[in-house]
Every structure is written in structure tokens, then in C-alpha cells.
Structure 1
Amino acid sequence: MSKLIFIFLAFIPLLCTSFTPERPSDRRVLVLLDDFAIKSSHSLFFNSLKSRGFDLHFHLADDPKIALQRYGQYLYDALILFSPTVERFGGSIDAAAILDFVDSGHDLIVAADSNASDLIREIATECGVDFDEDLAAMVVDHSGYAVSATEGDHTLIASDDFIKSDVILGSKKIEAPVLFQGIGHSLNPTNRLVLKALSASPSAFSANPKSKLTSPPSLTGSSISLVSVIQARNNARILVSGSLSMFSNRFFRSGVQKAGSPTKHEKSGNEQFFTELSKWVFHERGHLKALQLQHHKVGEASEPAIYRINDDLEFSVEIFEWSGTSWEPYVADDVQVQFYMMSPYVLKTLSTNGKGRYFTSFKVPDVYGVFQFKVEYEKLGYTSLSLSKQIPVRPFRHNEYERFIPAAYPYYGAAFSMMAGFFIFTAVHLYNK
């Protein structure tokens, strides 16, 4: 009995730090490595996660004891794959298990390189990212290379073509270019969920740097993505990088000067880039929640069970954004509500008080049936919101119509004139000799 109590007490910290709707940032992170040397060579990146409260669990990718779930419950909130050469994961993990992990709403970081295995390529492809099919290919740029690159070998690239999104990369501008050395990839054109977080320059191409080009490269210019991000429909987030070296201490600390630029930066933008990007991937930024969806008639406070056509109503909802430590009011001018039955009968942009509350008022359409209040909000970098509440709308009862409807006055006049004419005709017919 005492042993069971000890096991329960050991699991309490695990349960308290796990992912919850009230605290959406990932806490328990499984890190799979090709070699434990990566733990020290990439320690700056790992330490930045630990300093923000993440609990990292390091294992070799082929460790036979690793598992993502036990007894139907996931043991981790996020997964980092720093094992580009792994041919087969250990334990119960495989490509299908990782994709199920993402389908369950968990987050993923995948780092590849020029030696990326078919397993890593398969996972990336399922996420909407296609690495160059040439196994020896690397991204080469004879114009945008880093000045410190080996003469003639321009595979060390200094890129500053970032995604234009403050919610993904933070509001502070990344001044220094990011160092990249690895394999390029393209985005699946049928997948609208994947975005280029860092792109190659127009002069870049993907090819084997040790052999002579005999045919046009399959990937060229700005169509080459160096780092991509995906937000799935279930709001799980994925980062795919074509370079494991990008996360290394050496690249974090290196000075950088882009070819053709007179400015030399004492430190590359890698650390700031991946710190900000990891905040987004792990839901420390751009995570929204909505609550208190309310509606009622104008002048009333309680929510009715049914509306009547042409009623005036008020609608409100509260939206907050997770800042990494607390929920803060979300302020925007593009949140809309639909009053919906088969199609929107009313579409209104909501006003806000700047404290997270959004509101509007409108008249119920002169159509009865079962309607829905729908708030469907999608914005680049933010988790999507989809809320709905059903409400029936009835017509007027027989005793609720106006006694005399102004629009019917001509008909009233016609009826009474007919009656008067009939009376006059009858009188004339009876008494006329």
C-alpha cells in the first residue's frame, strides 16, 4: 500500500505541469537524438526552453524503451526530433505514431540535414513539406552566402527572408541574418496550412555541391523553404527545418556577414529566430480562447429560449490570448458573428471594449426556423476559433400582430367602400319606384 502511495505522489508533479486548456503551453517535451553529444552541442536552445518552464526528456531515437503513450494516455505534450539520420525509432514509436500524436493536438519540431533518412522525409511529407529528392543535395547560394563560408563552397547561407508575422516571430525585428546549412524543401501546393518561416534568396538553388550540374536543379530561388511552420486544423503546431546545425551553439554564437553587405553582425539571428519561433510552436503566443458567448433581447439580461422575428437582440463574446504565463485580452477589429440558417442571414463585425469583450446588436430576420450564432475566426499565426449556439426563431402569434396594419389601409378602405356601396345599392333598389 505504501508503495502505491509513493508512485501516486511521484506522478503528482507530472499531472500538475501537463498541457491543459487553462494553461495551453506545452510542458512535457520528449527530445529524440541521434547522439547524446547533441544535448551539449545544442544546449543553448535546450536551455532557453528549460528557462521558460519546459520539462525536457532526452532519449536516443532508437532507445527500445521510449513510448509516446501508455494505457491510452499521452506521456508528453510535444516532441522534438533532432535525429535526422534515424532509420527506425525504438520502442513503440514509428511514423504513424508520430502523426497520431500530432492528430491528437500535440506539437512537433523536426530538424533534418543533408543526410536525412527516409523516415524523417516521410514524416515531413505527411506534414506538407517535400525535401529535395536528391539525397546528396544541399542549398547553395553564390550571392547570399555567409562571408565566412569556405571559398567556392557556398552552402553556408545567411538568410533574412523571414515570414511577415509578429505573432509567429515576435514584434522585435530580427536584425541579423540567420545562418543555414542543410537541405531545402518545397511546400505541398495543395496544403494551405503550411507556411515558409524562412525562405532562400532568389539566387539560391538545391544541388549536390560536390558534383557538376548536368541538369536544371529541381528547387530554385525563393520557392525553396529553409524553415517551415504548419498549424493543423486541430491547432497542433509543427516546425520543419532543413538544418539541424541551425539550432547548434556554434551557429547561435557565430558572427555573420552576408555576401555583398557591408554590415557585419557580431551574432547571428539564429538564437532570436528559434527562441521566438519555439514560443509560437509551443503555444506561448498566438493561442486564443473564447468564452461567455451570450445573447439576449435589447433591454433584458437573461438569455431567452426562443426569439421572435424582428426582435432586437444583443450578442457578445469574450476572447483572450495566452501570453505564456497568463491570459490577456485579445484586441482586434476583424472578429465577426454570423446569424446562420443554411447560409448567413446576418453577418456583423463585432466591436470591442479593448478588454477582451466583443459585442454587437442587430434585428432578427423576418424568417423563422432554427438559427445559429456562429463565430469562426481564422487569422495567420493564431489558433482558430469555432463557436456556435443554436436558437429557434418563431413567427408572430395570431394575437401579436397589430390591430390595424398601416400597409393594409388600402384593403381596409376597399372593404368598407364595398360595404357602403352595397348598402346604397340596396336602398336604391328597394325604395326606387
Structure 2
Amino acid sequence: MSKSLVVLTLISVLPLLCYAFSPENPTDRKVLVLLDDFAIKSTHSLFFKSLQSRGFDLDFKLADDPKISLQRHGRYFYDALILFAPTIDRFGGSVDLAGILDFVDSGHDLILAADSNASDLIREIATECGVDFDEDSAAVVIDHTSYAVSETEGDHTLIASDDLIKSDVIVGSKKIEAPVLFQGIGHTLNPVNNLVLKALSASPSAYSAKQKSKLLSPPQLKGSAISLVSVIQARNNARILISGSLSLFSNRFFKSGVQKAGHPTKYDKSGNEQFSIELSKWVFHERGHLKAVNVRHHKVGETDEPAIYRINDDLEYSVEIYEWSGKAWEPYVSDDVQVQFYMMSPYVLKTLSTDNKGLYYTTFKVPDVYGVFQFKVEYQKPGYTALSLSKQIPVRPFRHNEYERFIPTAYPYYGAAFSMMAGFIMFTAVHLYNK
């Protein structure tokens, strides 16, 4: 092989090596944004700028661009995907329904926004994620009691909703005071999928129907069963946001004043900007992202981890858990982290104590059962990435020379043995020497 060929090979491999050894940073991420029209880039610029200000590299492309691709040879080019293309019937390039689902199955995040004219392709993606949009393609959410007051009476399709999910980790600890404006299509959650949560719900008076049409039968979607915005955290910790309104992220809704019907308070600015930005922080793992390090166990009074435990040993287990704050890893503080000492079923279940600095620990006695056990931490809390820790350790019985000698409960047996010996000696003496 010539020198020039060797140099060319090294140059081509070097970028892959640099990528492979780059440090993990949850905010140093590249996001693909697929649009129906490049006009959306300007009409939704405030939302995009909020992402860019937090360090995300946005790559804008038309959804039907023939050159778009998510991965090559199993290596993904992007860490997250934003689909602001509700009318797209077919993606360009190598992107399709299966490709997007594989993207999520590989642990990447997704934001999908639809509207009343959502295509079958967008509906299929949502269905695969556990969300079912209204089957009527022309239907929108209508609410005659929780609509946004405007100068014209309107058709009450502009909803002012304040029914947000009660979770600080998903929507942030700062309360969203103003209602969130929504105009679009409603959806329901698949009852079989318990990973889907309503982030923004419709009021009990809402229903889904065609605009300005008479209802000849009760609507299929109605009341609080209608979800306006939903979030999903998959078992592989990939996060998904599905909204029935693309306008929810628009500059117009971000800046609009809002007054909910029947309420005297008028807000100069809707809650859309705060709601959208806080949700995007959760979806892109800037909040609620946990990691566990330094899993340790050893006998009480020792520091080295043994290769095997003995039944009835006193041991100590500890693990450090941290949460990504958007800028740095900070100690995660909670009182519901548990460890199992497990063999076929948990023999020991202990809630871990914490020093409020990220360290969780506990002590317990090894059960009087020998075999191959596991230390298991299965931590699943809504809004947080799941932690699944497992460490295997064998447990042996006492050796023959390790049992306690002359225990008090055995004294009757000792007495019986010695009395039998004494009786045998007396009987032998009498039998031999008595004439």
C-alpha cells in the first residue's frame, strides 16, 4: 500500500475516531427540523431561537427534500427531530415512517406538531407513539365555555386552556399563570400505552367536530378525554412531544394577549412561550435526565468489594445519582429510591437514605439463603429517565468450621448425650463386676 493511500485512509477515519471519543454533553446536540414551508422558520422563529440560545444546532430542511437522511451505515447524524410539517404525505430522501420510528427506538427525541389538515403519514407516526388523532380529517377542537375571548365572537376554536400536567419536572417549577392558546386537532391516548401523559388537556365542555357544521350525532371525542398536547417517555428513555396545533409554537401565539371566557383577568401575554420552552427542555433532556455512578457494596466496616458474601453478613450498599440541570450535573435528591437484594424474587427491599449531595446508601443483613443474588435498583418516576442498575453477587452458606459452638439452645442435647454415656459406663461396671 502506497504512503498516499495510507494517509488518505487515516484522514477518512479520523473524523469517526473524534466522534467516537467525544465527551457526552446533553446540550451539544444537532437537531433536524423538517418544515412544510420555509415560511414556518420565520413565523415560529421565537421557538427556534430559544433552542439555539440553549446550544442546539438546528438544521432546517423541507420535509420533501430529496437529500435528507437521518443515518448512514447505522450512524445517526442528528440527536433529535422536529416535525413541523403537518401536511406532508411523503418525506424526501431516505426518511420514511419506519426510519423515524427506528430513530426514536435508537434513543433519539422527537417533537411532532399537527393541525386540522394533518396527513395520514403524520397520523401514523402519532399512532405508533401511542396517540390517536381524530379520524375526521377536518375536525378541530371546539369549546363554547373555555375559549379565548376576542373582539369578534368567532367559532370558539381558539381554546384557552390552563389544564396543565401537574409535574414540575415536565413543565418547570415556575407556575404558568396565563392560559395556553390552542387551535387545532385533538387526540386521545392509547389506553394500553401507560407511557403517554397529557401535558395539556381540554376542558369537560370541549368536543371535536367540523367547523360550522351541525352535529347529527354525539361527537366521538369530547370532554377531558381530549388531549391537546401529550408527552411520551419510551422505555429506552427517548422522549416525544405531540401537539395537535402547530400554531401553539408560533410567534403570534407567543405574543398574543389572552382572556379566558368567563374570567375577568386579561393577560398581556399567553402562556404559550413559557409552556413550549419548558416542554422542549424536558423533551431534549435538559431536565429530568438522571445518571447513576459509583455503585458500591461491601461488608460493614470494610471498604473493598468482596467476590462473595456469606449468609447473615452485614453489608452496605451505595450509589450516586445526579440530574442534568441544563448546564451541569447536580445531586438528585429524593426519598423514594429503593434497592432490592434479589434472587427469583426480592428477599430484601430497602429504601435508600441520602446525604442530599447525590449519595444514596443503606445497610442490611444478607438473608439466610444461599445462591446467586443481585443488587437491583429499578427507579421509574414520571418525568425522569428510568434507572436500571443490576450487580450480581453469590452468597454461600457457613463452612463446617464457621458454625457457633456450644450454643445454649443445644444444652439439653449435650446433657442427654453425656447422661447416656454415664449410664452406659455404670451399666457396664455393674454387669462386669457384680456377682
Does the 8 Å CA contact 2:27/2:54 hold for their aligned counterparts? no
Shift of 1:26: 6.1
Q: 4+ residue stretches of structure 1 with deviation over 4 A?
A: 1-12, 14-18
SS state at 2:277 partner: helix
Shift of 1:248: 0.3
- Structure 1 stretch 132-141 or stretch 394-403: which is displaced more? 394-403
Does the 8 Å CA contact 1:138/1:184 hold for their aligned counterparts? yes
> CA offsets, 1:181-200, max 9 Å, x none?
00000000000000000000
Shift of 1:15: 4.3
Change (3 A) 1:6 1:422: closer
Distance 1:7 1:31 in 2: 30
SS state at 2:346 partner: strand
1:227 aligned onto 2:195: no
Shift of 1:399: 1.1
Does the 8 Å CA contact 2:28/2:55 hold for their aligned counterparts? no
Q: How does 1:53-92 map to 2 (within 5 A)?
A: 53-92=55-94
Change (3 A) 1:17 1:223: farther
Q: How does 1:236-251 map to 2 (within 5 A)?
A: 236-251=238-253
1:34 aligned onto 2:52: no
Distance 1:159 1:295 in 2: 50
> Which residue number corresponds to residue 103 of structure 1?
105
Q: Which amino acid aligns with 2:34?
A: L
> Which residue number corresponds to residue 198 of structure 1?
200
Contiguous gaps of at least 5 residues in structure 1: none
1:114 aligned onto 2:116: yes
Shift of 1:355: 0.6
- Structure 1 stretch 142-151 or stretch 61-70: which is displaced more? 142-151
> Which residue number corresponds to residue 370 of structure 1?
372
Distance 1:272 1:4 in 2: 50
Give 1:163's match in structure 2, choosing from 150, 162, 165. 165
Shift of 1:17: 12
1:209 aligned onto 2:191: no
Distance 1:9 1:325 in 2: 31
> Which residue number corresponds to residue 148 of structure 2?
146
Q: How many residues align?
A: 431
Does the 8 Å CA contact 1:320/1:330 hold for their aligned counterparts? yes
> Which residue number corresponds to residue 324 of structure 1?
326
Distance 1:291 1:247 in 2: 37
Change (3 A) 1:157 1:11: farther
Give 1:51's match in structure 2, choosing from 49, 53, 70. 53
Q: Which amino acid aligns with 2:123?
A: R
Distance 1:33 1:83 in 2: 5
Does the 8 Å CA contact 2:317/2:361 hold for their aligned counterparts? yes
> Which residue number corresponds to residue 133 of structure 2?
131
Shift of 1:429: 3.4
Shift of 1:304: 0.4
Distance 1:333 1:217 in 2: 45
Distance 2:48 2:111 in 1: 13
> Which residue number corresponds to residue 299 of structure 2?
297
1:284 aligned onto 2:317: no
Give 1:182's match in structure 2, choosing from 164, 184, 193. 184
> Which residue number corresponds to residue 405 of structure 2?
403
Change (3 A) 1:132 1:397: same
Distance 2:368 2:176 in 1: 54
SS state at 2:48 partner: helix
Distance 1:315 1:9 in 2: 43
Shift of 1:423: 2.2
Distance 1:31 1:42 in 2: 12
Does the 8 Å CA contact 1:227/1:240 hold for their aligned counterparts? yes
SS state at 1:97 partner: helix
> CA offsets, 1:288-309, max 9 Å, x none?
0001100011111100000011
> Which residue number corresponds to residue 308 of structure 1?
310
Shift of 1:149: 7.2
Change (3 A) 1:342 1:54: same
Calculate percent identity across the aligned residue pairs: 81
SS state at 2:177 partner: coil
SS state at 1:102 partner: helix
1:429 aligned onto 2:431: yes
Does the 8 Å CA contact 2:258/2:268 hold for their aligned counterparts? yes
Does the 8 Å CA contact 1:17/1:27 hold for their aligned counterparts? no
Give 1:349's match in structure 2, choosing from 344, 348, 351. 351
> Which residue number corresponds to residue 413 of structure 1?
415
Distance 2:175 2:413 in 1: 72
Does the 8 Å CA contact 1:149/1:155 hold for their aligned counterparts? no
RMSD: 2.2
Shift of 1:332: 0.4
> CA offsets, 1:45-77, max 9 Å, x none?
000000000000000000000000123210000
Distance 1:6 1:147 in 2: 65
SS state at 2:34 partner: strand
> CA offsets, 1:352-382, max 9 Å, x none?
0111000000111111100000111000100
Change (3 A) 1:99 1:50: same
SS state at 1:217 partner: coil
SS state at 1:161 partner: coil
Distance 1:148 1:339 in 2: 61
Does the 8 Å CA contact 1:26/1:78 hold for their aligned counterparts? no
Q: Which amino acid aligns with 2:237?
A: N
Contiguous gaps of at least 5 residues in structure 2: none
SS state at 2:199 partner: strand
Shift of 1:405: 2.5
> Which residue number corresponds to residue 23 of structure 1?
25
> CA offsets, 1:217-249, max 9 Å, x none?
011111100000000000000000000000000
> CA offsets, 1:258-277, max 9 Å, x none?
00000000000000001000
Distance 1:68 1:17 in 2: 21
Q: Give the TM-score of the pair, scaled to structure 2.
A: 0.95
